[in-house]
Amino acid sequence: MGLKTADQYLDSLKTLKVEAHVLGIKTDEPGRHGLVAPSRQAVAFTYDAAHNPESRETLRAVSHLCKDEVNRFTHLHQSTEDLVKKIKMQRYCGAMTGCCFQRCVGLDAANAIYSTSFDCDRKHETHFHDRFRDYWSWIQKEDLVVDGAMTDPKGDRSRRPADQLDPDLFLRVKERKSGGVVISGAKLHQTGMLNSHEILIMPTMSMRPGEEPWAICCAIPVDTSGLRYIYGRQASDTRKLERDTFDVGNPIFGGQEVMTVFEDVFVPEERIFLDGQVDFAGTLVERFASYHRQSYGGCKVGVGDVLIGATELIARMNGAEKASHVREKIVEMIHLNETLYCCGLACSSQGYPTPAGNFQVDLLLANVCKLNVTRFPYEIARLATDIAGGLLGTMPSAVDLNDPEIGPYIRKYLAASPDYNVLDRMKVLRLIENLTIGAGAVGYLVESMHGAGPPAAQRIMIGRQAELDGKVARAASLLSIPEELPSS
Ligand code: SF4
Ligand code: FE
């Protein structure tokens, strides 16, 4: 099987028997639902892009596993150049879709599991790595979408998994059967779950001795019995169900987050890649988080490109593009966005090979990247809101625009620069609204804050990775003072 086209991908999802609850209604064809369809189109774009002459080189790589050309969204990084290309691919996809295209989580999970299973086998004489190689080789050949499932509900944050009133608040092995295990629990915030073929389940945090049931990493198909999918709401999402999609903002693409419940789900042995080795749960989480923190230096930059473009366009439509304060703000937006890109490229170019052979990003720089992502998109969105003006929050609806009685008033009074069409001006305002306070803000803002861990998690990693004692030694040596100063 070669690289799938977008149509082949969409067809392949139809063969999966998946039921989901979307806005209170059970559906066995979630892809046809108005809330889900735009997110599916965004994933389909990652297939199209691998065939488009403009982007195919960026979207393709040769796999060391199956020795064939694969979609880069399934590639195990073999060099720093691969890591850099990943960032360029993500910026491109973000800029072309203006939203989260959902396919990176499985990519980041695969790279983390590949190296962690290798290290675990070496220490514990387990056999996870070869299993994972076989599994992932199949994913590459079939060109599948894999959801990376990490975030457990976690219940009372002051209690460890075993001390929770309900042990399922951290996904766990509930029972052992011949040939596999039964898992129970839930994963929240699952990006692109209903647009995936497979799920890679990982522990949510470091585990300690005694917490073996919660140190589980495994894979299951999305249509495995015992799974329940509950679709996440996004701001203004029901606009996608309106007959006229004018008010949606992003008319084609959108993101997707799903709450997923695992109710006594059987996982066969050959799909288990960590099972009770608590000393590797934290390693896996840390490696996955670093890859995903790198990812945001690509995808959020691409969406930032769209927001900056829309903001410059609305300034021109308003006849305000030459005002010095507007120029300053646009340059500031570009500066912030490119700073994020610099971070994504830096942690990639400073990557290093793992003992398993695939490449890991520089942990310190990946965390710096993500910490900036928790702030800069918010500032970019603030500047976009400033330049766009108050209409962003007050503009009449498409229904009113199409009303024969009041529509003409809207067209008359929302006209600005004569060089532009009033309807186009309204469309641009809706796109800015989508990204700053609408459905697109889930991916561009909330996810920038919490995706791949909240800012506090990055600060902890930055503190750990910074080699502070080395810096103290350098300052002390420059001044010829003893490094270990007596406490006074
Ligand atoms: Fe990919 Fe970005 Fe979406 Fe994560 S938020 S899946 S990195 S596009
Ligand atoms: Fe994410």
Query: Which residues form the pocket of ligand 1, taking CB atoms under 6 Å from any ligand atom?
Result: 100-102, 104-105, 191, 295-296, 299, 443, 447, 451
List, in order, residues 6 or more apart from 417 with CB less than 8 Å away. 316, 317, 318, 319
Q: How far is the CA of 439 from the centre of ligand 2 (A)?
A: 15
Contact at 8 Å (CB) between 98 and 92? no
Counting ligands in written order, which one lies closest to the CA of residue 150? 2
Contact at 8 Å (CB) between 72 and 6? no
Residue nearest to atom 8 of ligand 1 (CA): 100
Neighbours of 240 (CB within 10 A): 22
Residue nearest to atom 1 of ligand 1 (CA): 104
* pLDDT, tens only, 193-249: 999 999 999 999 999 999 999 999 999 999 999 999 999 999 999 999 998 889 999
pLDDT at 486 over 90: no
Q: How far is the CA of 367 from the centre of ligand 2 (A)?
A: 14
Nearest-CA neighbor of 240 among 34, 47, 464?
34
Mean pLDDT of 326-334: 98
Task: Band the pLDDT of 2: cuts 50, 70, 90.
Answer: confident
* pLDDT, tens only, 415-425: 999 999 999 99
Task: Please state the atom number of ligand 1 nearest to the C-alpha of residue 300.
Answer: 2
Spatial distance between the Cα atoms of 65 and 425, rounded to a whole number of angstroms: 50
Spatial distance between the Cα atoms of 167 and 174, rounded to a whole number of angstroms: 9
CB-neighbour burial class of residue 216 (10 A; exposed 0-12, middle 13-18, buried 19+)? buried
pLDDT at 482 over 90: no
Spatial distance between the Cα atoms of 2 and 21, rounded to a whole number of angstroms: 33
Report residue 286 as tokens: 């840390």
* pLDDT, tens only, 61-105: 999 998 999 999 999 999 999 999 999 999 999 999 999 999 999
Mean pLDDT over all residues of the chain? 97
Q: How far is the CA of 440 from the centre of ligand 1 (A)?
A: 12
pLDDT at 488 over 70: no
Counting ligands in written order, which one lies closest to the CA of residue 151? 2
Nearest-CA neighbor of 28 among 7, 38, 44, 13?
13
Mean pLDDT of 358-369: 98
Q: Which residues are catalytic?
A: 100, 104, 191, 257, 292, 296, 299, 447
* pLDDT, tens only, 266-314: 999 999 999 999 999 999 999 999 999 999 999 999 999 999 999 999 9
Q: How far is the CA of 220 from the centre of ligand 1 (A)?
A: 21
Nearest-CA neighbor of 207 among 141, 114, 121, 274?
274
- Domains observed in the chain: 282-470 (1.20.140.10)
pTM, to two decimals? 0.97
